[in-house]
């Protein structure tokens, strides 16, 4: 088998890349380790930047997003028992859209299949060869047999635990990394959100986030220790802890409760490898960088990477110009490092770090700056809306 671009991974990065390449008349094959059902139901991100929404719309993927996505023009920062609205649209002219990542993935899969795409689900034993030659090759197991896909370029869009990045010889990549001493316990509940906008909350017990997926589904998160056993968190305990952290002084307001139908613990990590390319292998999304979710940047960065990559591949295949391809890493990394800084900053400001009361005081001072100073609030908003 031959194709122009062999894509490893059918997450948002791999699927959107395949679609954008199709719009440029460039062929691709997508190889995915899991089933279609699995990738369409993996619960993850929920916040799309304005730029991400624009890219999806311009690529003809805006119909359901526009009908079902919820436009949010601000967020709330809650600390010391008080809420403070950050009016992002007023400060920046831009907004975010709340629309589940799995909905983006469903839209992409449907569209790619309608356009006759070659997506192979449930492939295994994926190996990359010949990355420094002219015919990089992907070998994999599918439909009970060994297969070979000869490509012009391979796009590694296989997430943090994929095989693309580790295939690059040791010594070719530099890793920048930070781990955080906590994780997020996330739930989805059949409960009408008690708020219209997201709440990022710092409490003595730790961080909490109030988000949503629709008028009937709430998405909430609690900071927990990294080694937390989800078995120690029966539903009642989760709702009690959420009510405690979100409590407003002098009010009996609390999150709306409802049946919890999804529960999971996510570790927090910052991670970048440079460069984002090696020979004929180009890396995108979580395969090459990770941010803690406090800044809601991971999915948006993946979209930005493949948008830049698709334009570089268009210049190369259709314009015989390899300049944009050679500068892919440089072009994509600008956004990546800004998002790294923002995600680290939001995480540092909003989580409990051990028992250090001095640290907590500093965090409150930082939050006060953000809610009292239009300059700080604008800086946060610009980064948040993208």
Which are the catalytic amino acids?
72, 200, 293, 297, 384
Burial class (CB in 10 A: 0-12, 13-18, 19+), 160: middle
Strands 153-156 and 5-8: parallel
Q: Which of residues 32-71 bind ligand RFL (CB under 6 A)?
A: 32-34, 39, 44-47
Residue 167 makes contact with ligand RFL by CB under 6 A: no
Which residue among 26, 47, 48, 91 contacts ligand PHB (CB under 6 A)?
47
Region 288-327 residues binding ligand RFL, contact defined as CB under 6 A: 293, 296-300, 302
Q: 157 near 14, Cβ under 8 Å?
A: yes
* Encoded tokens for 300: 């948006």
Nearer to ligand PHB, 20 or 220 (CB): 220
Q: By CB under 6 A, which span of 153-161, 274-282, 363-371, 374-382 interacts with ligand RFL?
A: 153-161
46 near ligand PHB, rule: CB under 6 A: yes
**Gap between the Cα atoms of 48 and 386, Å rounded:** 9
Contact in structure between 266 and 291 (CB atoms under 8 Å): no
From the list 128, 131, 132, 110, the residue with the least C-alpha distance to 61 is 110
- The secondary structure of the chain in percent helix, strand, coil, rounded to multiples of 5, reads 40, 30, 30
Cα distance between residue 221 and residue 210, in whole Å: 7
Stretch that binds ligand RFL, among 148-156, 159-167, 270-278, 323-331 (CB under 6 A): 159-167
Minimal distance in Å, beta carbon 210 to ligand RFL? Answer: 13
Do 278 and 172 form a contact (C-beta atoms < 8 A)? yes
Contact between 286 and ligand RFL (CB under 6 A)? Answer: yes
Chain contacts with ligand PHB (rule: CB under 6 A) = 45-47, 198, 209, 211, 219, 293-294, 296
Chain contacts with ligand RFL (rule: CB under 6 A) = 8-14, 31-34, 39, 44-47, 101, 123, 126, 157-159, 162-163, 184, 186, 266, 285-287, 293, 296-300, 302
């Amino acid at each position: 088998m031959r194709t122009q671009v062999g894509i490893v991974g059918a997450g948002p990065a791999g699927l959107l890349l395949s679609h954008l390449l199709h719009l440029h008349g460039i062929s691709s094959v997508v190889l995915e380790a899991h089933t279609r059902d699995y990738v369409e139901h993996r619960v993850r991100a929920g916040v799309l930047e304005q730029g991400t929404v624009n890219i999806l719309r311009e690529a003809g993927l805006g119909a359901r997003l526009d009908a079902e996505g919820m436009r949010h023009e601000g967020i709330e920062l809650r600390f010391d028992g008080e809420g403070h609205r950050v009016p992002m649209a007023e400060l920046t002219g831009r907004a975010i859209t709340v629309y589940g990542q799995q909905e983006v993935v469903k839209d992409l899969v449907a569209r790619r299949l309608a356009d006759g795409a070659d997506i192979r689900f449930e492939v295994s034993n994926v190996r990359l060869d010949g990355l420094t030659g002219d015919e990089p090759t992907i070998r994999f197991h599918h439909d009970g047999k060994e297969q070979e896909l000869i490509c012009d370029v391979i796009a590694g869009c296989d997430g943090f635990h994929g095989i693309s990045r580790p295939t690059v010889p040791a010594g070719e990549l530099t890793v920048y990394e930070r781990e955080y001493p906590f994780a997020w316990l996330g739930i989805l509940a059949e409960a009408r959100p008690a708020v219209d906008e997201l709440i990022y909350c710092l409490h003595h017990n730790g961080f909490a986030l109030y988000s949503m997926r629709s008028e009937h589904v709430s998405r909430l998160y609690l900071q927990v220790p990294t080694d937390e056993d989800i078995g120690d968190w029966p539903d009642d305990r989760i709702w009690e802890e959420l009510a405690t952290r979100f409590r407003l002084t002098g009010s009996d307001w609390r999150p709306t409760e409802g049946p919890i139908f999804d529960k999971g613990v996510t570790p927090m990590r910052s991670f970048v490898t440079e460069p984002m390319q090696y020979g004929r292998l180009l890396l995108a999304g979580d395969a090459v960088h990770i941010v803690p979710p406090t800044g809601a940047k991971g999915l948006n960065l993946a979209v930005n990477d493949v948008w830049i990559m698709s334009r570089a591949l268009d210049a190369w295949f259709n314009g015989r110009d390899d300049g944009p391809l050679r500068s892919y890493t440089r072009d994509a990394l600008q956004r990546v490092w800004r998002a790294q800084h923002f995600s680290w900053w939001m995480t540092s400001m909003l989580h409990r770090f051990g028992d250090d009361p001095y640290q907590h005081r500093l965090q409150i001072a930082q939050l006060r700056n953000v809610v009292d100073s239009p300059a700080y609030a604008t800086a946060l908003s610009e980064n948040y809306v993208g």
